[in-house]
Amino acid sequence: MLKEFKEFALKGNVIDLAIGVIIANAFQKIVSSLVSDIIMPLISLITTDIDFSDLALTIGNVSVTYGNFITAIIDFLIVAFCLFLFVKYVNKLDNINKGILDSKLLKRLNRKNKNKENAEPVPEPTTKVCPYCLSEIAFKATRCPHCTSNLNENLEK
């Protein structure tokens, strides 16, 4: 059982996940500092010196600090937006790489078939997968008929 656990713990995926968690924790500290030390003071200037961290509702002996909750929501929104941008960038790179690999593979297959007698060249594909909704669409389509995403945006950016 110890041997199985050691094999599991030393797999690449587990180590990658651990590194991701450590980096995410450090990133969260940076975002928390950004929100509490820079953004919230600027917001309090705009909102006539209201300090969100001091906002609380007292009921009897219990104090509900909803100002800290507002700060945590702003933290979350900033982290979520950064992750959204990161995932969008990685997907864009992945789509570009897939296109490059697909064209290289097609050229290589055509080259191999030219060397064979009576071999027909590999036909160009007639369909492709929309990178946004993963539906199968016409290869020359510039807009997905399912999710209406503009497919030329990947090429322009």
User: Structure pTM?
Assistant: 0.46
Among 116, 146, 140, which residue's Cα sits nearest to residue 127? 140
All domains of the chain in start order, with CATH: 2-124 (1.10.1200.120), 125-157 (no CATH)
**Residues 65-117: tens digit of each pLDDT:** 888 888 888 888 888 888 888 888 887 777 766 666 666 666 776 666 665 55
Nearest-angstrom CA–CA distance, 122 and 110: 6
User: What are 126-140's pLDDT values in tens digits?
Assistant: 888 888 888 888 888
In which residue are the tokens 């007292």 written? 58
